[in-house]
Structure 1
Amino acid sequence: MRTAVQPRLDAAWQALRRWLGATLLPAQCALCGAGCPELLCPPCRAQYLESGRGQARPRCRQCANPLAGIDVAQLCGRCLRQRPAYDATVTAFDYAPPVDQLLLQLKFGARLALAPLFAQLLHVAIQQQTAWDAPQLLCPVPLGPARLAERGFNQALEIARPLARLLDVPLQPRLALRVRETRAQSGVAPQERQANLARAFAIAPEHGALLQGCHVGIVDDVMSSGHTVNALATACKSAGAARVSILAVARTPPH
């Protein structure tokens, strides 16, 4: 007879098997599968960096959507019409091939060794900012308990750990809680995504004092519509944060 905890045990075992397979099998390039001692073989790394470099184009300083002009200090039309709760966004890449495949390997293939690589590339993008105001602490976008149990790890936290070390900024992995299980944004119609995230996040009571007048850096793997990070930024601002910056590995270009 299966107990109430058996599904979670099964999910944990599957996550462990994926992790063991990713770490104990001979090293392979994450893109082409060729044998190599690094995550990416030299040809793929060159193609990856050249095709995925996100700071080669002007971006809105608030949401990081591409801009048609050359003034990197300006805001896009969407942010001018309705300012989001967060104050700035830094991204390393557009969410497009081959970056999307690498992020999917991390998120759904449990290839956790990719997380430090993403942190390094995001750190490079941060260093390229002309006016960078470093946050006082980092907070990864939290997963709900059910999704965390199913996946076995939080990809945003895996990226935030090495990024915090590179930035020399404290990491607060339990600062925010996802208090309401939500549907995956990728499976929600665009017009329903904001409502799907309404009141989904809360600040842990024991950490509320940290946010008073604080600059928070929210770390995520992919920023698409921006509703997820905006909901979390709203929770941070409501708890007393003075400024919120989004640090996302990839940004989905608007269609």
Structure 2
Amino acid sequence: MTLRTFAAAWRWTPGTACHICTSWQRDAVCSACRRRFRPIGHRCRCCAVSLVGLNEVCRRCILRPPAFDHALAALDYAYPWDGLVTRFKFGGACELAGPLAERMTEALQTAAAQPGFVQPDVLLPVPLSDARQRERGYNQAWELARRVGPALGIAAQARWVERVLDTPHQTGLDREARMHNLRGAFAVPAAGRAGLPGRSVAILDDVMTTGSTAQELAATLRRAGVVHVQTWVLARTVSDDAAP
């Protein structure tokens, strides 16, 4: 072997350890893990909770329909995705935004091919308060939205809705406590009041637990003149009692 061919054979190529199985390859989450941990089954079309059987709507949404029209979730908030979402959300692992956004995009492209899918006019990430964004360094919902939106040909707007109350963390609170915690938390500034009336909107967030955040935000958007509201989340807890 000549020196040239030896150097070519050992040339370093960029790579990373898969965040799930730790195998060394080019993607933050390897293709084998994406296939292995792909969610199976179907979800409530209103709140995206996993369903057993052939029902399209869960009992809770039949009794108390949410303020949003439809919900889609890419993943279950369960192993291994729960750990990745936690690191992305609380651990400063912003490098996971790309691979997690890819999982959302794949799921949404599949949903878009189904009958009855409504293509939203605009994508709105759930906003953080100023204090919470300073604490984390970024808004994880925006990091997803600014990647998912262009991939689907939908404008993502970060300034059409804002969080005006810095509410306590939702972790550990039940549905009623979460709703009380979020009351009046969101507002639509001038840019949103000009751009939202008559529009179809998708709210984008990282995790849905009880749906209380989406419920309050959807109600705020309805008052601003939005005619159709969907909720798109990266991960949905297996049940409403499983808090991230």
Taking a change above 3 Å as real, the CA distance of residues 75 and 41 of structure 1, as seen in their structure-2 partners, is: closer
**1:81 aligns to 2:63 (yes or no):** yes
- Aligned pairs for 1:1-12 (under 5 A) are none
Tell me the equivalent position of 2:22: 33
User: In proportion to residue count, which structure has more helix?
Assistant: 1
Could you tell me which of 121, 125, 132 is aligned with 1:147? 132
- The 1:163/1:46 distance shift into structure 2, 3 A limit, reads same
- Measured at CA, do residues 200 and 58 of structure 1 come closer, stay the same or move farther in structure 2, by a change above 3 Å? same
Contact 2:109 2:152 (C-alpha < 8 Å) held by counterparts: no
| Aligned counterparts, 1:121-136, within 5 A | 121-129=103-111, 130=114, 131-136=116-121
CA distance in 1, matches of 2:136, 2:84: 17
- Return 184-193 or 57-66, whichever deviates more: 184-193
Q: Distance in 2 between matches of 1:42 and 1:230?
A: 35
| Equivalent in 90, 96, 105 of residue 87 of structure 2 | 105
Among 68, 88, 97, the alignment partner of 1:115 is 97
Which residue in the other structure is 1:63 paired with?
A: 47
Q: CA deviation at 1:70?
A: 1.7
| 1:163-185: CA deviation from partner (whole Å, max 9, x where unpaired) | 00111011111111100111111
* 1:126–1:132 Cα contact (<8 Å) kept: no
Q: Which residue of 2 aligns with 1:47?
A: 36
Summarize deviations over 1:48-88 as a string: whole Å, max 9, x none: 33xxx2xx3121111111223224xx321111111111000
Partner AA of 2:129 in structure 1: G
Q: CA deviation at 1:188?
A: 2.7
The DSSP-based 3-state class of the residue aligned with 1:185 is coil
The aligned counterpart of 2:232 is 247
Aligned-partner SS, 1:32 = coil
| SS of match in other structure, 2:25 | coil
1: CA distance, partners of 2:192 / 2:181: 25
Cross-structure match for 1:206: 191
Q: Which of the pair has more CA radius of gyration? A: 2
Shift of 1:119: 1.9
The answer for the alignment partner of 1:95 in structure 2 is 77
- SS of structure 1 residue aligned to 2:17: coil
Matching residue's letter, 2:201: V
SS in structure 2 at match of 1:103: helix
Q: Distance in 1 between matches of 2:34 and 2:152?
A: 23
Distance between the aligned counterparts of 1:151 and 1:139, measured in 2? 19
SS in 1 for 2:35: helix
Superposed CA offset, 1:107-157 (max 9, x none): 122222221222221122222222211100000000111110011000000
Displacement after TM superposition at 1:42 (Å): 4.7
Q: In 2, Cα distance between the equivalents of 1:189 and 1:61? A: 22
Contact 2:198 2:225 in 1 (8 A): yes
Q: 1:172-216: CA deviations, max 9, x gaps?
A: 111111001111111434431110010100111222121111111
2-side partners of 1:242 and 1:38: how far apart? 39
- Distance change >3 Å, CA 46–CA 125, structure 1 → 2: closer
Name stretches of at least 5 consecutive residues in structure 1 with no aligned partner: 1-24
* Preserved contact between residue 16 and residue 25 of structure 2 (Cα < 8 Å): yes
Contact 1:61 1:89 in 2 (8 A): yes
Which segment is superposed worse, 82-91 or 189-198? 189-198
Equivalent of 1:228 in 213, 222, 229: 213
Q: Under a length normalisation based on structure 1, what TM-score does the superposition of the two structures give? A: 0.82
1:42–1:118 CA distance, 2 compared to 1 (3 A): closer
Q: SS where residue 42 of structure 2 aligns?
A: coil
Moved more, 143-152 or 178-187: 178-187
Q: TM-score, normalised by structure 2?
A: 0.86
Q: Which residue of 2 aligns with 1:193?
A: 178
Residues 116, 163 of structure 1: 8 Å contact kept: no
Aligned residues with identical type, % of pairs: 37
CA contact (8 A) 1:95 1:250 kept: yes
Structure 2, unmatched stretches of 5+, are 1-13
